[in-house]
Amino acid sequence: MALTLASPGAESPAPVAAVVRLRGFSRVFGETVVLDSLDLDIAPGEFVALLGRSGSGKTTLLRTLAGLDSRHEGQEVAIPSARAVVFQDSRLLPWKRVWKNVGLGLPGKDVRARAEAALREVGLGHRLDAWPLTLSGGEAQRAALARALVREPQLLLLDEPFAALDALTRLRMHELVLSLWQRHRPAVLIVTHDVDEAIALADRVLVLDKGRIVAEERIEAERGQRTATVRRLRAVLLGHLGVEAAEGSYADLVAHPRSTWLAAAE
């Protein structure tokens, strides 16, 4: 865990030498204010999950952090130069073999060796020369992970990377992401709709709503020992997402007599 100092005046403690630092960041599309003077710090090596309803601006925020949105002149936006993104769809170039996708744009000579090492790490050592369109969904996402990791990013951005995968594959991918994170220690921001995914993976969970971060929950419990935390946190986070739910895990939640699931009023 990174060192954190409480800075006077700020609601949340500002980490020393944060990898990401946004202050009063806004993004407007025409008339609509999508992000509204938002503050965000991410410490080196920190694993942050970002929850939010559909259309709350998660992807917009992530694109800013990925340097894909140049519309932030005059705003306080600090992002590291070494960053990598994994999107919901793998976005492999279908006309390049898997290892070339992983090595895309890498400088230096030993590109193939580095790509190969990264692919082995995600368990795709046997598919180096495959065409991307022959990969399964899970394999494609693993290749996308390898492509991100081979760049040794300080900041790894994941935009709902597992949303399109089946539950079993997703479970494997969670384990893979955690082990890769523990080995390489990039700061991670994962955007997700899945409260359980956020609780299982992150050090800190943020909820984005109406362009602002409306909730921030730090999870102190060790990964793998979070069952107790889930009971309360789940209900809290879902509450921020506009769903009133009783405490407990998903298994008991759906059928719970007291739980009233309210569709979020748009």
Partner 1 sequence: MKKPGSPSFTLRPGRWLSPLLLLLLWEAASRTGLIPPRTLAAPSAVIETLAEMIWSGELPSNLLVSFGRVAIGLGIGVSLGIVLALVAGLSRSGEVAIDPLMQIKRAIPVVALAPLFIVWFGIGETPKIALIAFATLFPVYLNLYNGIRGVDVRLVDMGRSFGLGRAQVIGHVLLPGALPSLLVGLRYSLTIAIVMLVIAEQINATAGLGYLVNNARDFMRTDIIVVCLMVYALLGLGADLIVRVIEGRALAWRPSLVEA
Ligand X SMILES: Nc1ncnc2c1ncn2[C@@H]1O[C@H](COP(=O)(O)OP(=O)(O)OP(=O)(O)O)[C@@H](O)[C@H]1O
The residue within the footprint of Mg ion, chosen from 56, 59, 64, 154 (CB under 5 A), is 59
Strands (E), the chain: 4-5, 14-15, 20-29, 32-42, 47-52, 76-78, 83-86, 155-159, 187-191, 204-209, 212-218
Binding mask 33-72 for partner 1 (x = CB under 8 A): ---------------------------------xxx----
Among partner 1, ligand X, Mg ion, none, partner that 56 touches (CB below 5 to 8 angstroms by kind): ligand X
Cα–Cα distance for residue pair 261/244, rounded to 1 Å: 6
Task: Figure out which of the listed residues 9, 94, 108, 257 binds partner 1, where binding follows CB under 8 A.
Answer: 94
**Which of 131, 163, 164, 223 is in the footprint of partner 1 by CB under 8 A?**
131
Least separation in angstroms between residue 13's CB and ligand X is: 26
> What is the C-alpha separation between 56 and 222, in angstroms, rounded?
29
β-pair partners for 22:
40, 77
Q: How far is the CB of 35 from ligand X (least distance, A)?
A: 8
Asked whether the CA dihedral 48, 52, 54, 58 is positive or negative, the reply is negative
Give the C-alpha separation, 1 to 66, whole Å.
Answer: 23
CB 2 within 8 A of CB 15: yes
Return d(Cα 203, Cα 47) in angstroms, integer. Answer: 5
Q: Per rule CB under 8 A, is residue 89 in the interface with partner 1?
A: yes
14 in Cβ contact with 7 (< 8 Å): yes
The gap from C-alpha 249 to its chain's centroid, in whole angstroms, comes to: 22
Question: Smallest gap, in angstroms, from Cβ of residue 6 to partner 1?
Answer: 34
Least distance from C-beta 58 to Mg ion, angstroms? Answer: 5
- Report the residue number, 98 or 213, with the smaller CB distance to Mg ion: 213
Binding footprint of ligand X on the chain (CB under 6 A): 29, 34, 52, 54-60
Residue found by looking up tokens 């492999």 in the block: 92
CB of 62 to ligand X, least distance (A): 7
Rounded to a whole number of angstroms, the minimum distance from the CB of residue 197 to ligand X is 13
Tokens read off for 76: 């306080």
From the list partner 1, Mg ion, ligand X, none, pick the one residue 89 interacts with, judged by a Cβ distance below 5 to 8 Å according to partner type.
partner 1
Interface with Mg ion, residue 141, by CB under 5 A = no
| Binding site residues, partner 1, CB under 8 A | 66-68, 83-85, 87, 89, 91, 93-96, 104-105, 131-134, 147, 151
| Binding site residues, Mg ion, CB under 5 A | 59
